Amino acid sequence: MSRIILVITLAIGLICSVALNFYLVIQLNIGINLGTIESEFKQLSAYLNNDKSKVQSRNLSRNQSQDQSQDQYSDNDNSGYSNSGSEYVTKSAEQLVNSIKKAITDKDYFIAGDLINALANDFKADYQEKYQREYRSEHSPELANVKRFWLKATKTLIGQKHYSHAENSISAYLAFRSDDSDFLYQQVDLYWQQQLPLLAIKRAYEVQYHVYNEAENRSAINFARELVQQQVETLITNEHWLELSDLVEEVQVFDSQYLNLQWLFARAQYQLGEFDYALNAIQPLLDEPNYKIKARLLLADIEAALRSPQSIPLNRQGEHFIVQGLINDSYNVSLMIDTGASISLLSEPAFNALSQYSDVVYIKDLSLNTAGGQVTASIYQVAEFDIQGYIINDFAFAVSPFVSENNDGLLGMNFLRAFDFHIDQKNSVLILKNK
C-alpha cells in the first residue's frame, strides 16, 4: 500500500514539474517576442524620423539649388511684367519669370526651356483649377508674359539676321508647346527670310495640323497659298519655268485641291516646250468656271505648237541618219531612216529585248524590199511608237535577221507618211509637222 502511495506521489510531482516548465517556457517566449516587437518598433520610428530628416535635407538642397539658378538668371529690370499683384502670383513665380527672361536674353535656350516647364508645372500643381474656374483659361499670366517676351526676342533675332540663334529659340519654345501657332508662323518667316521658300511653304502648310478649329485651319492654308503665289510671281518674272514646274510638283503633295497649281504646271510645261505634258495638264481646267477661259486660250496655243514643225536631232553615220524612238513608253530604239522601206523594221536582238519589257502582237509574215535588199520578216504590232512626242498608235514593224552594229533597225514610211517631214541633211535634223 505504501508503494502505491509513493508511485502516485511521484507521478503528481512529475506532472507538476512538467506543467511548471511549460508555463515558464511560454512566459519566456512571450517576453522575447514582446521585446523583439518593441525593438523593431523603435527601429522603425528611428528610420522614419531619419527619413523625414533626409527628405527635409533634400528639399532644403533643392531650394538652395533653385535659388542659385534663379540668382544666376535674375533680372532686376522687370519691364513687361505687370501681374505681380495677382493673387495667383507668388514670389517664386516672379523669380522664375525673371530667370527665363534672363536665359532668353543670354540665348541660353536650354535653360529657358527647363525653366518654363518648371513654371508651367508649378502653375498646374497650385493654381490651374481655381484659375480655370474664375478666368476660363489654362494659361497663367506668367506663361503669357514669358511667351510675349520670348516671341519678341525671336522676331528681333530674325530681323537682325541672327538666324541660327532664332532657330534655336523657336525650337526650344516648340519643344515646350509644339502647337503654338505664333511660333510656328515665326518658323515659317525664319525660313522665308533665309530665302528657303520651299521649306517655308512646307512649314506653312504644316500649321494646319496644329490648329483645332475650321477658321484657323482655313487661315493656315490661305497663308501657305499666299507664300506659294509670291514665289510663283518671282519665278515667272525671271522666266524660271523649270523651277516653277518643280515647285508646283512639290506643293501639290500638300495641297492637291488647289486648282491654281494645275494651271501653273500646264503653263510651265508649255513654256518648256513639253506640249504633250501641257496638253494633259490643261484638260481638268477646261470646264472649271474660274479657269475655263484662260485654259481654253492656253489649249489653243498648245495645239498650235503641236501642229508646228519640230526639229528632231539625228546622228549621222556616213550617208545615213539615225533617230531615237520609244516603243510602248518603255523601250528605246535607234533606227536608221529609210524612206525606201514601206514598213519599219527591228533586228532580232532588239525584238527579243523588247519582248522582255513590253507586249507585242504577231500579225503575219511578209517579203520586204529594203535598202539592203529583199528580206522575209514576221510582222508584229505594238500599242505605241513615239519620236519626241510624235506618236502613232497600233504601230506595225517587221522583225528579220538583219543586224547592224550601229542601230536596232529601220524607220520606214509607215511612220514618216503620217507627218509632213523633211530631213535637213546640213544640220542633221528631222523636221516633223502634224498634217
Q: Tell me the residue ranges of DSSP E strands in 263-348.
A: 310-313, 315-317, 320-327, 331-337, 344-347
Question: Distance between the two ends of the chain, CA-based, in angstroms?
Answer: 156
Q: Encode pLDDT of 128-182 as tens digits.
A: 555 444 444 446 788 999 999 999 999 999 999 999 999 999 999 999 999 999 9
User: What CATH number is associated with residue 143?
Assistant: 1.25.40
429 & 321 share domain: yes
Domain boundary among 274, 307, 340: 307
Q: Compute CA distances 435 → 146, 306, 309, 417, 420, whole Å.
A: 73, 10, 10, 10, 6
* Confidence (pLDDT) at 252: 95
What is the spatial distance between Cα 73 and Cα 67, in angstroms, rounded to a whole number? 10
Q: pTM here?
A: 0.56
In a domain, 211, yes or no: no
Q: Encode pLDDT of 215-273 as tens digits.
A: 999 999 999 999 999 999 999 999 999 999 999 999 999 999 999 999 999 999 999 98
In a domain, 70, yes or no: no
Extract the C-alpha cell encoding 261.
497649281
Q: Encode pLDDT of 85-135 as tens digits.
A: 343 344 578 888 999 999 999 999 999 999 999 888 876 655 555 544 444
Name beta bridge partners: 345: 398, 410
Domain that holds residue 353: 311-434
What is the spatial distance between Cα 429 and Cα 100, in angstroms, rounded to a whole number? 72
What is the spatial distance between Cα 386 and Cα 415, in angstroms, rounded to a whole number? 10
360 & 345 share domain: yes
Domains of the chain: total: 3
Extract the C-alpha cell encoding 137.
483659361
C-beta of residue 123 within 8 angstroms of C-beta of residue 140: yes
